[in-house]
Chain A
Amino acid sequence: MDRYVSLVGPNRMVRPLELYRLRRRPPTEKTVDAGFRVLAVVLASVVAVLLLAILIVVFWGSLQSMGRYGWSFLVTSNWNPVKDEYGAFTAIYGTLVTSLLALLIAVPLGVGTAIFITENIIPLKIRSLIGLMVELLAAIPSVVLGLWAIFVMEPFIKPFLEFLHTTLGWLPLFSTNPMGPGIAPAVLILVVMILPIITAISRDSLNQVPLKLRQAAYGVGTTRWGAIFNVMLPAAISGIAGGVMLALGRAMGETMAVTMIIGNSNTFSWSLLAPGNTISAMLANQFGEADGSQVSSLMYAAFVLMILTLAVNVLAQWLVKRLSLKY
């Protein structure tokens, strides 16, 4: 700080007048200024260039397979590297079913938790502790959750899955005997992974609802849950819907935990208790060792996944804009 001259106080110094003369910017300063601006623009474009590059590379890699199978790739389910025949329906079905079912379970749980920690039912300290715990859950790496799922969760839920099979086995969804890894455990581990996203975003949206709205609702004589259902949730719906869509995108792209517990079977089965596959699990398992047309087919599957997640994410942004209430 000694470069600045103090103008007040006992140690004040009288500045020479020339300090107050208009100063011309030296050319180097102008160059640095302009250069920094250009640098910032270039660095900002990196993200756009990368995104386009990813799209182009994945699309380019899948061209061969696209030309060979066309749309039938999406609806046929024989994945046979030996015979060199590929159809990704098993993986696409797995991706959609696991993520949608996980969403079905995680949305009530997450929104319910968010309501519980934004209402004043219990003391603030306990509520923030619950919030912190849910956020820390998001920090646990998915590979650790996968490890936990293999050795702890799967053996634990097996009796329940067997019960489902014996009582509801006549439904195609539960028609196979659970034998360890499968779609159902993958759904549960996905619930664990997307729960923090839904809870955190719902909590933030509920917290942003103006206090006046809630007070007005209580003023006209409603109960706590009357206010929640008729005032709080409708006011926060844009954020919650956006969070749910983000969670859906995350669930579809989630790789490690699902790969470790879904069983990686390329044979199609309607049953949730049978081993299955998702696009990302298939990529994680096969991409490293694939060659020839298998690479191209995997890239085609990756392209499908990319389009699915892109669509979901763009929809999420649009929903947030569209549904946001003006209050």
Chain B
Amino acid sequence: MTLSTTADLRNNVPDLSYKRGLWRNVFNRLMTSLAALFAAIATLPLVAVLAYVLIKGGGMLNLRLFTARSTGLEGGGIGNAIIGTVIVTLLSALIAIPVGVGGGIFLAEYSRGGAFARFIRFGTNVMAGVPSIIAGVFVYIVIVQTRIIFGNSHSAIAGGIALSILMLPTVIKTTDEGLKLVPDDLRRAALGVGASRFVTILRITLPSAFTPIATGVVLSIARAAGETAPLIFTALFSPFWPNGIDSVFEPIATLSVLIYNFATSPYPYQNELAWAASFVLVLFILIINLFARWLGRFAAG
């Protein structure tokens, strides 16, 4: 047996250095640049939309915009639509949160994976895919046309119900998933010291799952605030200020419907109002979104 010399070794070791010209390395670089390009294109719309909304809408901002009604005439503003958006969104949250959280509690705490629970989970997923305009059509036929709510046809509450149909699946899902993250030990401990099922859920599991549920609920509220399609023939529109508690049963202006009506109108002043309303709506929604994200991270860290 002969000892191999260094020269021998050097001759037998394959060349391991990186070769730029090799096809697989060229392909690698090509694909990486392509993916970077795609990522750049994907972020482009947000930048472009935000820039235009900030510049065109932000340039319109003045105090009169917030103190004037949405008559659409010169001198008109968006004040009543801002209040209207808040009212309709709150109404929808008031309906969707109790129902959705209750449904989520059933799925996570009471169901044992039986046929009924599977059906509800499936229904929730299917419901999440129902187009928003269908929710509007449904509420129009069942509530607006029949005048079932104290003889009122188009009303803020009808709009709120339509929005709550869209919020419901999200609230159920986030509650279900949030509650599933709570360790079973907590439940056993509570039941073990003699708490009833109800008290366990109310005092132990719901509070421990508060953050994920709150994050999901806040995100779904942000989503509902921007929805337009379910409102155009349920809440309709109104050029007047909301009038106390009665406004719940009357047609009401919202920012999103205002944008739709004024964007498609031929009058330049109304187009400008649409940009200003977009500015307010986008700012409102982005703030809620970032708040929800912060809420999620705050609890996690």
Distance to closest chain B CB from A318 (angstroms):
11
Hey, which chain A residues are within 8 Å of B47, CB to CB?
A: 133
Return the chain A residue nearest B172 by Cβ: A47
* Cβ of A266 under 8 Å from chain B: no
Which residue of A has the minimal Cβ distance to B51? Answer: A152
CB neighbours of A7 from chain B (8 A):
none
Contacts of B289 in A (CB 8 A): 136, 139
* Minimum distance in angstroms from A24 CB to a CB of chain B: 11
Contact in complex: A47, B122 (CB < 8 Å): no
Which chain A residues (134-149) contact chain B, with CB distance < 8 Å? 134, 136-137, 139-148
Of B32, B119, B142, B233, which is within 8 A of A48 by CB?
A: B119
Interface residues on B, range: 35 or more
Select A144's contact among B42, B53, B100, B232, beta carbons within 8 Å. B53
| Chain B 210-257 residues near chain A, CB threshold 8 A | 222-223, 225-229, 232-233, 256
Contact of B142 among A46, A47, A53 (CB under 8 A): A53
Contacts of B130 in A (CB 8 A): 51, 54, 253, 306, 309
**B17-53 contacts to A (CB < 8 Å):** 24-25, 27-28, 31-32, 34-39, 41-43, 45-49, 52-53
Q: Using CB atoms and an 8 Å cutoff, list the residues of chain B in contact with chain A.
A: 24-25, 27-28, 31-32, 34-39, 41-43, 45-49, 52-53, 56, 98-100, 102-103, 105-107, 109-111, 117, 119-120, 122-138, 140-142, 165, 168-169, 172, 194, 196-198, 201, 222-223, 225-229, 232-233, 256, 259-260, 263-264, 271, 274-275, 278, 281-282, 285-286, 289, 293
Which A residues form the contact surface with B (CB < 8 A)?
Answer: 23, 25, 29-30, 32-33, 36-37, 39-48, 50-51, 53-54, 57-58, 61, 108-110, 112-113, 115-117, 119, 121-122, 130, 132-134, 136-137, 139-148, 150-152, 192, 195, 199, 223-226, 228, 246, 249-250, 252-256, 259-260, 280, 283-284, 287-288, 298-299, 302, 305-306, 309-310, 312-314, 316-317
Given A136-B46, A317-B125, list of 19 further CB < 8 A pairs? A25-B196, A29-B196, A40-B110, A44-B120, A45-B120, A47-B124, A116-B39, A121-B36, A141-B225, A148-B48, A151-B56, A246-B129, A283-B137, A298-B137, A309-B131, A310-B126, A310-B129, A312-B129, A316-B129
